[in-house]
Chains A and B, each alone.
Chain A
Amino acid sequence: MSVRESDLKQAPACTTTSLGNYLWSDPPDESKWADCVHCGMCLESCPTYEQTGQEQHSPRGRVHLIKSVAEGKLEVNEAFADPVFACLDCRACTTACPADVDVGGLIEEARGQIRQAMPLTGWKGAVSKFFLEGVFPHPDRLHLLGNLLKFYQKSGLQKVARKTRLINIMPEHLVEMEAVLPEVKQPVRKKYKQAGVIKAKGETKRTVALLTGCVMDVMFSDINEATINVLTRNGNDVVIPQNQTCCGALHVHAGDRETGRKLAKQNIEAFKDAETVIVNAAGCGCMLKEYPELFREDDEWREKAEQFASKVEDISKYLHDTGYEKPKAEIKTRITYHDACHLAHGQGIRQEPRSILLSIPGVEMVHMPNADRCCGSAGIYNITNPEMAGAVLKSKMEYVPEDVEMISMGNPGCMLQMALGVLKYGRNQKIVHTVQLLDWAYQKEERLKGV
């Protein structure tokens, strides 16, 4: 589309792909911002613009700044980093944009440049390195951490910490977070380690591989369990490749694209033999589908990543498209649905989860206005930018209907954040994953049959 892009393609392989004041390889992609005509249709879709009313915290403002660095008008410095890292990466602007500008991609590429130009230092750097490099990519360490948390919860330490207010030595937003942490159970990856294939109940129609996720399998292993139940119930053999790893979304969001690529390669290899890769976390699913973005400058891996991405599917869409048995047992509840950003804006999946919920007898759906507005979770944004995340959550909670018993969604990060919202604003909804509700309906049906 643009002149310079074609120049770049003709450039000899040895030249660096740096651009303007982006001095590292893999800079923001010019063809992405060339589509932006600065019309402003994205403004109202942006949660950070809603909170601040400031252009540099709007999608078109950020695109403008990213472009300005490439044009040499701005430098990669703290003042540039601030609006780029304040983005929730919720992709609502991508849905609103008339010209399909990939703002999310630009933001992630810009973050990659910022983190290379100015690596995190001090305790922020240490914490980030510890988690992003030391924990998430290593299932064993994560499981150990999960066990510690489990010990903390079960041993009475949690009670002691809360009672003695010892817990208050942590920053306020972390104390709030601690209060809504789910009870840690056994990760499915450990549980089914020896199983090889988890066989379908009844006739096998298809075989799928499951991404268990890193935090998901520690904090929300019951959702993984529910996913497996729902899949096997509907004629799917389920495989859990043991050498899979964290999807890398948190790393890419944080600007660490190098680790992102490493993890991507490991996953691409791990799922080499899979026909379909099932994901139950919207953020992870979106990341897997965007692996090709990470390999823009590596033809061999880009091709592999594209092939891999085409196999990835969210559990709700997979069930919807391949067909699933409508549950017969009734679950009488009033429920509302929250669109996880990386499901609705990132993957265009909106109707499928809703229709699954509606297929359960007794479920009454209540419309949530602005259901696809970000809740402020955004990966670890609620930990890195607690103030903005809190403001975004407050706005979100205003849209949650008063008279519902449950809020359903398809992303673990949102589940924690919405649970926090429920606690903080004195509401009493239960937070559930879409497949959990379906699984409960199946289980109830079994129980009734048993009787």
Chain B
Amino acid sequence: MAVKDVQIKDKHIENLAKIVGGAQSILYKKEDLLAYDCDGFTIHRHLPKAVVFPKSTEEVAQIVKYCHENDLPFLARGAGTGLSGGAIPLNGEVVISLTKMKRLLSVDLENRRAVVEPGFVNLKLTHSISDKGYYYAPDPSSQYCCTIGGNVAENAGGAHCLKYGVTTNHILGMEVVLPNGEIIEISTNGVLDPPGYDLLGLLTGSEGTLGIVTKITVRILKNPEAKQTVLAYFDKVSDASQAVSDIISAGIVPAALEMMDKTAIEGVEAAAFPVGHPKDIEALLLIEVDGISAGIDEQIDEILKVCRRRNVREVKVAQDEKERERWWANRKTGFGAMGAISPDYLVQDGVIPRSKLPEVLERIKQISEKYGLRIANIFHAGDGNLHPLVLFDARKPGETEKALAAGSECLQVCADVGGSITGEHGVGIEKREEMRFIFTDEEIIAQTNIRDVFNPKNLLNAGKLFPTPGRCVEVKRNEKTK
């Protein structure tokens, strides 16, 4: 019954296997590859040519060099939890999985930084240093399993980025394998604002199109002295949105300011971590303030006042850490929880000015009605980062297309009110075309020109981040460079 290893006769597979030290560190059978045909974005799928598991920067560099010399498309993958398809091997890429490079290399408490390999899981960093009173601030909801390498590629955000900033604000240095296999180091000593171009800023959020990060120096923070969390239930979405604006206007910068609407609440309550939210409310806010102890109570008082002014039905402060954790588990597993009320979902990631919240939510409701698809809203209200979750069933003919169209329309609304098409999930495959909502052709070309400097053969994660070169300008330019 043994399967014949027909494909091992492929010389590329054989050579790649040699680089990573043998057949146990490479996958090439269809049955194994199938598990790599998508990431957290499941609408597009494609089989990779192979998946390799390097254990060191040198192995990554050799794989990349081999692909570069043999014109094999390739891409890097962390935990594969991305929501825009950044790790999907659209062109039958060689997938370089970094899950074996998952060590915490060093912690320097004095200078408040740590060095990790790209496959190190986000939350594990906090777990490794929490006993000493430190933590790593960027906290995407997938932090239980997503990797810091992937966070760098997507410039991941999270609930607490309202106050502390997104991933790019916490990256102090990195080691990168360039698409031709060269290894470079950028600001590894963690000096702020080094002379020359801000390559750290450029690489962070480049969605794996400029290079593969193999070592990352991150900033770590001292745990806040005090922390308080508030949960507020509203009968009207507009009241909740107004409360969000009022809190910020009152001069408070909460660590997190999250909102869920009725459909989202239905999802999280039907799933594995219910809190017991009332079923008939229209929106809830989850608000957290932290910092030095002095003044925290005053901020909480002010927040309670604002909520009451905006007709809150019920508002409460977490009584202990357990309750607080329960509220957050409920919120942070929100996307996966949609599985409990729908077989598939498509999550969007628009950003809007806070003041436009009520208007935009109303228009999303109209889009939902127009397409006959339910849309749940879970989002970082504090920084205007919306996550409309379009619920659909891929097995019903035409419904995937409808969901995509509805999602795209939501982004159009965000762009129309002066916002953006992505806050933290990246463009990937999902929002390539929507880039045109916010960039002109010239602006897109200016960016692909930068990509071509790093990635001249465009073998590394091709077909992501920018619209397909349907426009004559880029096609012409591509011809010229050949």
Contacts and interface: CB of A to CB of B under 8 A. Distances in A.
Interface of A: 1-4, 34-44, 53-56, 58, 61, 64-65, 68, 73-74, 77-80, 82-83, 95-101, 118, 121
B231 interface: no
A53 B144 contact: no
Interface centre among B31, B32, B340 (most CB of A within 10 A): B31
B119 interface: yes
19 contacts: A2-B393, A37-B42, A37-B338, A38-B38, A39-B142, A40-B145, A40-B146, A53-B53, A53-B119, A54-B27, A56-B35, A73-B34, A77-B1, A77-B3, A78-B2, A83-B31, A83-B32, A99-B271, A100-B340
A58 B77 CA distance: 15
A4 B394 CA distance: 12
Contacts of B80: 40, 55
A101 B395 contact: no
B190 interface: no
Contacts of A4: 395
A64 B51 CA distance: 17
Contact of A39 (B40, B100, B393): B40
B402 interface: no
A4 B39 CA distance: 25
Contacts of B135: none
A14 B36 CA distance: 38
A43 B39 CA distance: 12
Contacts of B339: 34-37, 39, 98-99, 101
A34 B32 contact: no
A77 B36 contact: no
A73 B30 CA distance: 10
B272 A44 contact: no
Given A43-B145, A44-B121, A118 B31 contact: no
B40 A40 contact: yes
Given A61-B35, A68-B34, A79-B31, A53 B337 contact: no
Interface of B: 1-3, 27, 29-32, 34-36, 38-40, 42, 51, 53, 79-81, 97, 99-100, 102, 119, 121, 142, 144-146, 271-273, 333-340, 343-345, 393, 395-396
A65 B31 contact: yes
**Chain B at the A interface: mostly helix, strand, loop or mixed?**
loop
A236 B144 CA distance: 44
Given A43-B79, A64-B35, A2 B343 contact: yes
Contacts of B338: 37, 99
A80 B30 CA distance: 10
Query: Which 7 residue pairs spanning A and B have beta carbons closest together?
Result: A99-B339, A53-B99, A98-B336, A98-B333, A79-B31, A39-B336, A55-B35
Given A53-B99, A77-B1, 20 more contacts: A4-B395, A35-B340, A39-B142, A39-B339, A40-B39, A41-B144, A44-B144, A54-B27, A54-B35, A54-B97, A65-B34, A78-B2, A79-B32, A98-B271, A98-B333, A98-B340, A99-B337, A99-B339, A100-B271, A100-B340
A329 to B, nearest CB: 33
A442 B131 CA distance: 38
B332 to A, nearest CB: 9
Contacts of B144: 41, 44, 96
Interface centre among B102, B336, B345 (most CB of A within 10 A): B336
A134 to B, nearest CB: 23
A81 B387 CA distance: 38
A100 B1 CA distance: 35
Interface centre among A38, A58, A73 (most CB of B within 10 A): A38
Contacts of B396: 3
